[in-house]
Amino acid sequence: MTTSLLDPEARPSTGFDRRKITHWIAFGFGSGLSPKAPGTVGTLAAIPLYLLMSPLHWMLYVGLVLVFTVAGIWICGSVARDIGGKDPSAIVWDEFVGFLITMLAAPPGWLWILVGFLAFRLFDIWKPWPIRVVDQRMEGGLGIMLDDVIAGVMAALVLLIASWLLI
């Protein structure tokens, strides 16, 4: 049986409940429902949010990222409990936040958005130390969010170094 987001009774195999705002946020406004590479699709879906936030004063941008992170810990943990998983791949709010952290160090321009996207995805997929340790040992909303926060910080450092060398 197939399901549709338009069907109010539909609840895809991911456990997504379209009636709950927490599910919409955790599932990256639907991007996490991608049948292939939901983390990558979720990161792509974060780009418009970044573009909306990028003109903001740096302190406001950082403040919003902090709010998104703290809210994400609760939201992702709650939704993971709802759908019964440790870190379900369909939950991609952590990718949104990780990408926004990455872009803290990015100069303006589409090239830097692409570099930030690739750097963040590399760290998120590869999971070098300490990302792997956090991913394996931490549970709940903090565990879901923290590995992507660290991946975002590491990717931001790559962007910062690259911008110093190239600009």
Rounded mean pLDDT, 150-155: 98
DSSP-based three-state secondary structure for 27: coil
12 occurs within a structural domain: no
38-58 confidence digits (pLDDT tens)? 999 999 999 999 999 999 999
Closest-CA residue to 158 (of 122, 125, 132, 126): 122
Please indicate, yes or no, if residue 16 is contained in any of the structural domains: no
Q: Is 18 helix (H, G, I), strand (E, B) or coil?
A: coil
7: pLDDT confidence band, cut at 50, 70 and 90? very low
Note the pLDDT of residue 13.
67
Asked whether residue 137 carries a pLDDT value surpassing 80, the answer given is yes
Tokens 């910062």 identify what position? 160
What amino acid is encoded at 111 in this protein? L
**Domain contains 65:** yes
Q: How many domains does the chain have?
A: 1
Tokens of 119: 């750097």
Q: How far apart are CA 163 and CA 161, in angstroms?
A: 5
Q: How confident is the model at residue 9 (pLDDT cuts 50, 70, 90)?
A: very low
Domain that holds residue 51: 21-166
Q: What angle do CA 89, 92, 93 make, to 5 degrees?
A: 145
Residue 144 counted as domain residue:
yes
pTM: 0.91
> Tell me: the pLDDT tens digits for 73-112?
999 999 999 998 888 999 999 999 999 999 998 999 999 9
